[in-house]
Amino acid sequence: MKRIFLFQSIIFVLGVLTITSACTKKEIMQVPGTVTKTSFGLMPDSTQVNLYTLVNRSGITMKVTNYGGIITSLMVPDKNGNPADIVLGYDSLSGYLKATPYFGALIGRYGNRLAKGKFTLDGTEYILAQNDGPNHLHGGVIGYDKVVWEAEDFKTDSAVGLKLHYLSKDGEEGYPGNLDITVTYTLSDNNTLTFDYTATTDKATPVNLTQHSYFNLAGSGDVKSHELMIAASKYNVVDSTLIPTGELRDVKGSPFDFTTVKPIGKDLVAAGGKPIGYDHNFILDTKSINDLAVRVVEPTSGRIMEVYTDQPGVQFYSGNFLDGTITAKGGNVINQYNGFCLETQHFPDSPNQPEFPSTILKPGEKYHTTTIYKFSAK
């Protein structure tokens, strides 16, 4: 009788363990073609911040928080079908609330730099924060990367996505006009990630929105062996503070020539800079969003990233300022060249350089721009 009871007890325990295991698997399983919303923590003022997990039907999982529109994770399969997280970031909200190099974030009102933190528009001089040496960078002290956006997730027959909305008020960070912004992230089943930016204003204002994810298609290590092509025959020459001098220089025969594929690390030293590396706007030769602007291949994993955009430029940043002082996801220390950025954009300092394409949005006009990242592996 005791043996029967013991046997029944063992069966019961095994059954509980099986049920528990099944529940655990169900909880962590990501269902293709879905968006899941979970809590990502609280802001210092107790505002709720959420994390949205987007899963397409082709093996990509992306996590985005409505704090700064930040892409916290992007799991992409390699040539053997094995996924790895290809963007840099933190495990929790607390990491992003600290000083951060804009990991994964939406950038605005003006992406990139404005010389001496000021510009003049319609006869009025506007003074902005000098948060990058003598210059203004990525929207200021509290740019769009540091605010909580309204968020609404969505699904279609072939994609999942997140629509983000923010009203940037007149005078915020020194900029004129109430800027009403909607940014949509769409992850399709054919492994494209589309960023669609729209905005309107009630007062003339410069606008230059972009996305600042740091990529590493290997999932770890440095990116120097990544093979890069940029369809740009010219780039903006910059001064010692990374402000364009106004010269548009031909890339041919220089370290800035990526018109034919070469490893990112090949000409890093020759590119110069302090610290050494690339942090330059490349002037795209593309005519429309249908033209390939950038292609990156990681040879070992076989992962490929292609960029299509209707913007006139792309800032290629090779992670020069990453210096080993940041501990990111999984306790990993982020060192120099551990990630690269491809920020599609208008030229830096355009409001102060009238010969550059205009970035001024006026009342009655609509700002609308689109960038597509396409992922594959072979």
Which pLDDT score is estimated for 143? 98
* Spatial contact of 281 and 315, defined as CB atoms under 8 Å apart: yes
* Spatial contact of 80 and 102, defined as CB atoms under 8 Å apart: no
* Spatial contact of 201 and 287, defined as CB atoms under 8 Å apart: no
The Cα 96–Cα 90 span in angstroms is: 7
The Cα 234–Cα 248 span in angstroms is: 6
User: Pick the catalytic residue: 138, 212, 226, 346?
Assistant: 212
Which pLDDT score is estimated for 20? 36
The Cα 164–Cα 182 span in angstroms is: 6
Which pLDDT score is estimated for 100? 86
- CA 133 remoteness from chain centre: 23
- Residue 234: which of 217, 251, 247 has the closest Cα? 251
DSSP three-state, residue 352 = helix
Is residue 143 packed enough to be buried (19+ CB in 10 Å), middle (13-18) or exposed (0-12)? buried
Which pLDDT score is estimated for 99? 76
Which pLDDT score is estimated for 29? 62
The reply to whether 343 belongs to the active site is: yes
CA atoms within 13 A on the CB side of 367: 30
Dmax of the chain from CA atoms? 97
Domain 34-377, what fold? Beta-galactosidase; Chain A, domain 5 (2.70.98)
pLDDT in tens, 359-372: 999 999 999 999 99
Which pLDDT score is estimated for 15? 42
Residue ranges for the chain with pLDDT beneath 50: 1-28
Run of H or E residues at 25: helix 2-28
Which pLDDT score is estimated for 25? 37
- CA 240 remoteness from chain centre: 25
The reply to whether 172 belongs to the active site is: no
